[in-house]
Amino acid sequence: MTWDGAPHPAFAPFGPAAWLRVALKGGAMIALVFGCLLLLLAVRLVERPLCGLRRPVTPFITQFVCINALRLLGLRRRMRGTPMRGAGAVVANHVSWLDIFALNACRRVYFVSKSEVADWPGIGWLARATGTVFIRRDRREARAQAALLRERLGLGHEILFFPEGTSSDGLRVLPFKTTLFASFLGEGGLPELRIQPVTLAYHAPPGAPAPFYGWWGTQSAGEHMLAMLAAARHGTVEVIFHPPLVAADYADRKALARAAEEAVRAGLRGSGVPMA
């Protein structure tokens, strides 16, 4: 599912300096990501038989990669609010693939992703290695998906999903889909757990269009990545943590999803991003 609500702004043609930045930054980021992936897999050989899915060590490697990938790219990160402690879920608006780095740089979380991502070259390998939870977008499997999420939450994991179901231009918050919120309510749910809404607010570099960091529509991931690497200057991503919601305080998944959506939208409105 892809959001197509607005035409994507065209990126300027690359000159020699832009291609040099692509080569230097891209090479450094590849070395960082895949070098640390090898380290993570080596540590996992010991961690898995001793700890199973609990992963007490490898999330720190993932967080190290994400913090330094943003530094190499030149995208500054500001954090507001207080991340919750302990098991629970994080829900955020979705702007682009950069969200994974921005969120993991702040918190050691496990992402929930559509099952197709597991088969993507490169990205799929990274997702599997870092403990991503893969689900199929099929209503008939909602019960099994809820059981899988409850299992991971029961292990003390902090899971993160994007309820919009797609990325956008970053100038709006799309309506939250309610399916995954059912994992916290009803029979077999975990109503005592908390759900923390998080707003991602991207501030474009000077002179760039406001939706500079958004990735949506027919634009390929490769095209967007090249543009991010080629940029001479970068802006800032604000990661705004809102007070956690307790699932038991809400009558049903729709009410819970609506409260989370309102908190995320309020954060974007107060960030200074020119909302559409």
Q: CA 258, CA 245: separation in Å to the nearest integer? A: 11
Q: CA 130, CA 44: separation in Å to the nearest integer? A: 10
CATH code at 124? 3.40.1130
Q: CA 138, CA 267: separation in Å to the nearest integer? A: 31
For residue 249, being part of any structural domain is answered with yes
DSSP string, 139-157: GGGHHHHHHHHHHHHHTT-
For residue 181, being part of any structural domain is answered with yes
- Compute and round to an integer the Cα radius of gyration of the chain: 18
Phi and psi at residue 135, to the nearest 5° = -135, 155
Q: CA 166, CA 216: separation in Å to the nearest integer? A: 8
H-helix segments, the chain: 16-51, 58-73, 98-106, 123-129, 142-154, 221-230, 253-269
pTM score:
0.91
For residue 7, being part of any structural domain is answered with no
Structural domain harbouring 116: 16-269
Angle between helix axes 98-106 and 58-73 (nearest 10 degrees) is: 120
Encode the chain (276 residues) as per-residue pLDDT tens digits: 568 777 787 888 899 999 999 999 999 999 999 999 999 999 999 999 999 888 899 999 999 999 999 999 999 999 999 999 877 899 999 999 999 999 999 998 989 887 777 777 767 778 888 888 887 766 666 677 777 777 887 787 889 999 998 999 999 999 999 888 877 776 556 667 789 999 999 999 999 999 999 999 888 888 999 999 999 999 999 999 999 999 889 988 899 999 999 999 999 999 999 998
The partner residues of 239 in beta bridges, in order of sequence, read 79, 200
For residue 6, being part of any structural domain is answered with no
Phi and psi at residue 176, to the nearest 5° = -75, 135
For residue 236, being part of any structural domain is answered with yes
For residue 188, being part of any structural domain is answered with yes
Q: CA 159, CA 242: separation in Å to the nearest integer? A: 16
| Number of compact structural domains in the chain | 1
For residue 1, being part of any structural domain is answered with no
For residue 258, being part of any structural domain is answered with yes
